[in-house]
Amino acid sequence: MQEQLTPDFRDYELIDTGDFEKLERFGRFVTRRPEPQAIWRKSLTEEEWRRLADASFLRDARSEERGEWQLKAKMPDRWTVQYGYADMHLTMRLALTSFKHVGIFPEQAANWNFIYDNCLKIGKMRPVRVLNLFAYTGGATLAARAAGATVTHVDSVKQVVSWARENMEHSGLDGVRWMVEDALKFVQREVRRGNRYDGIILDPPAYGRGANGEKWILEEHIGQMLACCAELLEPQASFLVLNLYSMGLSSTLARTAVRQAFGIPQTEQYGELTFTDRAGKELPLGTYYRFTR
């Protein structure tokens, strides 16, 4: 079923969007960042944006990605936000990075709920094992762990894995298996070992580098990745979540690729992850596909 998802995230608000920027509140602090999909005009004035923003990202003219933050006096380098759903209570540490990211993609909370619910459901039948690939700072990892799953968290950047471990500790959780490794190499090895998982989460970038410099190009490697994951996922009472952040890649494309690798599932959802600003402008923030079987 095609559906747009927006989570109920009290510590996050999309205040305004437009002119290729977005103004967001994370907890008590407001950030101003580039947003290539905000092709419309802003609803608030430039003066209001400057007044509201505690931290503004200024892109380096020599780089498409890097830049620096301009901070007001009260803005800290690090702070935390809370996310709650059912009996899940997560605390995520945020920070201002040179790549404009802050350590969380709040739209993904819609998937955290799905992961939490399905881990609880499967856990009534058997112990649950979850594999989180390209796992970043671990929101999905913590959702699965909060539901009692044994989780393997894989990311190629050591500093990011350390950040995820901090988030686990802030959330009062423990027991995650941390792997600093190239995701494709890891799943290939898991296939050879004959391992199985009850849930698999994939959040691949358009381009990336593995822990030892391995090159990842989404369009070239996603088919191989999905084929490996199809061998790792339990054939019954299991789930998959796939996110695509590359502009131009649709949820229908994700659905077609997943169905080729895994077959037709029992239930499926796909569409866009979105937030709506105060003026009612809806901003797409990535596509998703997820299934249960």
The pair of structure tokens assigned to 142 is 């913590």
Residue 68 is predicted with a pLDDT of 93
Residue 250 is predicted with a pLDDT of 92
- Contact present, 35 and 21 (Cβ < 8 Å): yes
Residue 215 is predicted with a pLDDT of 86
Confidence category of residue 63, pLDDT binned at 50, 70, 90 = low
| The pLDDT of residue 64 is above 80 | no
- DSSP H helices, 148-217, are 158-170, 183-193
3-state helix, strand and coil shares in percent for the chain, rounded to the nearest 5: 30, 35, 35
> Pairing between strand 199-202 and 282-292?
unpaired
Confidence category of residue 211, pLDDT binned at 50, 70, 90 = confident
Q: Domains in the chain, ordered, with CATH? A: 103-292 (3.40.50.150)
Residue 59 is predicted with a pLDDT of 84
| CA 144/CA 130 separation, integer angstroms | 7
Q: The dihedral of CA 13, 15, 21, 25: what is its sign?
A: negative
Q: What is the pLDDT of residues 35-59, one digit of tens each?
A: 999 999 999 999 999 999 999 999 8
Q: Does the reported pTM lie above 0.85?
A: yes
Average pLDDT, the chain: 95
pLDDT > 70 fraction of the chain, expressed in percent and rounded: 99
| CA 252/CA 149 separation, integer angstroms | 29
| The pLDDT of residue 196 is above 80 | yes
Confidence category of residue 247, pLDDT binned at 50, 70, 90 = low
| The pLDDT of residue 30 is above 70 | yes
Beta bridge partners of 16: 23
Average pLDDT over residues 259-267: 97
| The pLDDT of residue 189 is above 70 | yes
